[in-house]
Structure 1
């Protein structure tokens, strides 16, 4: 991930934007929580946000599929993130694909103020298309980490979130009852 010199140099010259992306069940939130916990151990001022609409595990905490969690602030609109903590050194944002299209501008404003912004989200929707503000965030990020799940059909690296239920809405909160991770071959052979 980061070596100390690189992180120290970044802190001297301003903030940064990091994106953790991949399919469902790939460990995006786990990695976000890991990075934020390390920042808390280092006694840095951390603020964590998630969309108010994501109430799957907890209304206020960011929770991974493995049930690791970290307290967060649910917000309706990405601009609300700018209202919190003037001394904040690190901002964590989970489920970024569910935020509005202003999220990249909010992240740039924070980074330009010297804040390290760490974002996790799905890079593709269930149809394999770029999802929400994630493509723009990928373009402006200093660091991008793409994580893969394990394909439930063949065991290969999964980069797609295959929807198991009939529903054409792009936004459908769910877990294993609605989605499964698949590799490209198994995703396209949807039987």
Structure 2
């Protein structure tokens, strides 16, 4: 069970930390990021949200969940841009962290060291069921890690794998239910046997 950390209205007077929300596609990661950001706004904290520039599935600028909930964000090309655009904020939220370069780990540490609450979400595994870097490194340095599960689209059990339903060998391929299914371990293994 996730225990939400206490909030502060002034980032510089309290210790910062890193929260990672991970899981498969369709597990509600972005929905959880939006929920946490909304609570921070209610607490009158200064919040800024970032996403990778390549994620244009629903909107070129905003972070949008599969449920169509939306928050304003800043698309960026390189993770170090986050440092340049984070001054004066209490909470920094980062969506789809698996699409960022390895510097995202250092960026999150620097932000937390400055007393900022950092909320990061992303896929923990790629379509091959392998760790999706840089997520494992972020999970290891985070104070809080929440792993969410989708519902297996074949049997209804909890799902932790993102199965690609079409032929492609690129690790990064944006898509939704037109290209991916959330599957449990058993269904994932059966699908890979075909």
What residue number does 1:144 align with? 145
Equivalents in 2 of 1:133, 1:89: separation in Å?
A: 23
Change (3 A) 1:79 1:151: same
Q: 1:42: Cα distance to partner?
A: 1.0
Partner of 1:107: 108
Secondary structure of the 1:7 match is: coil
Displaced runs of 4+ in structure 1, greater than 6 A? Answer: none
Match of 2:94 in 1: 93
How far the C-alpha of 1:68 sits from its partner, in A, is 0.4
2:184 aligned partner:
183
- Post-superposition offset of 1:8: 5.4
Alignment of 1:68 with 2:69, yes or no, is: yes
Give the corresponding residue for 1:168: 169
- Structure 2 residue aligned with 1:58: 59
Residue 158 of structure 1 corresponds to 159
Mapped to 2, the partners of 1:151 and 1:25 lie a distance apart of 10
Displacement of 1:41 in angstroms is: 1.0
- Normalising by the residue count of structure 2, what TM-score does the alignment of the two structures yield? 0.94
Alignment length (residue pairs):
188
Aligned to 2:79: 78
- Partner residue, 1:35: 36
Q: For each residue in 1:84-110, what CA deviation from the matched residue of structure 2 results, as whole angstroms up to 9, or x when unmatched? A: 142110000000000000001000000
- What 5-or-longer segments of structure 1 have no aligned partner? none
In the TM superposition, what whole-angstrom CA distance separates every residue of 1:136-169 from its partner, at most 9, and x where no partner exists? 0000000000000000111000000000010010
Aligned-pair RMSD on alpha carbons? 1.3
Q: For the Cα contact (< 8 Å) 2:94–2:120, is it kept in 1?
A: yes
Query: What are the superposed Cα offsets for residues 74-127 of structure 1, whole Å, 9 maximum, x if unpaired?
Result: 000000000114211000000000000000100000000000000010000000
Q: 1:188 to 1:88 in 2, by over 3 A?
A: same
Q: By how many angstroms is 1:13 displaced?
A: 4.2
Query: TM-score scaled by structure 1?
Result: 0.95
